[in-house]
Amino acid sequence: MQDALSPILVTGGAGYVGAHLVRHLRSRNCDVVVVDDLSNGRRPRLPDDVPVYETCIGRVDEITRILRKHRCRTVVHLAASKSVAESVRDPLVHYRNNLSNSVALLEACTAADIRQFLFASSAAVYGDVPGGIVTEDANPLPKSPYGISKKMFEDVLQSSVEHYGMTYAILRLFNVAGRGAFMAHEDIAGSEPSLLDALAACRVRAGNTDKIEFQILGNDYDTEDGTCERDLIHIDDVTEAFWRSLLHIAETGKNLVVNCGSGTSRSVKQIVHRFRDRHAPSITPVYAPRRNGDIAKICADISAFKHATGWEPVHSELDKILVSISEPS
């Protein structure tokens, strides 16, 4: 089945998720090509023999040439602006990068006769969901321009690619976390650190001090302890989820739209306190105002993904994730 998928072009392949995925795909004997503008990605994360093109996915002719040169059969689209807070401050940047440039990428894929297309979408497409547990058929009501931009490209993809003989998978990623087996000592933080990136950085800064404050953004949400609740999924489970999804669409010819989370939610307060108690006793949690665009509570129902592909998370226990980020970079 690798022959039906490979070579695979990964956009954003020098980023945190992308670099893990590239190595995972190579472990599955796939040839991989990377396109990344390196605004957040880092070339040293990738093996030296992986072809990397430092360019924008919005350049249709150039991306078409790359796809044809390497005779790619599959595209995995990870490249995106990913900051909820930044999308609230400057929405048009997210609409350009996540929608306009993604449509341009899709044009290049049709010109190069790509057969499979996997899109890394986001749980942000859902917004606040009653009860917090969300299935794929929930009515999407994104709260931020980031979430809106992801949903808009989902709609473009679903309404157009079948006209060009392409099958697609859309994975709505929840909170990807941890360091994987391939990058155990790599600095994984992006342009705007996630909760766990910030915790890891705080632990490093706290090395020579008795106490250091760590801000929890908001403690007045309608949740059990007042802080946001999140579904954390280990990066190694995510890369395997991508692989299973690619196999599914190649083998069945059927499209796939699924949640990719652990199926368990934890509050920010729980996560911070667990990390402090086990890995960074000098951290002192303090509360700060909410961040615009944040969802109060969300947790993936992953039963549809399990049923379709047999995938299930096996690395996403909270303690395992926290151990992985507490290791030195």
Active-site positions read 146
Residue with tokens 């003989």: 165
Give the largest Cα separation in the chain, rounded. Answer: 62
Strands 52-53 and 74-77 come out as unpaired
Q: How many residues does the chain have?
A: 329
Beta-bridge mates of residue 216? 287
Of residues 323, 48, 10, 329, the one with CA closest to residue 188: 329
The C-alpha atoms of residue 191 and residue 82 are separated, in whole angstroms, by 9
In sequence order, what are the residues at sequence separation of 6 or more whose Cβ sits closer than 8 angstroms to the Cβ of residue 242? 21, 24, 76, 118, 120, 171
Backbone dihedral region of 39: left (phi > 0), alpha (psi from -120 to 50 degrees) or beta? Answer: alpha
Classified as helix, coil or strand, 199 is helix
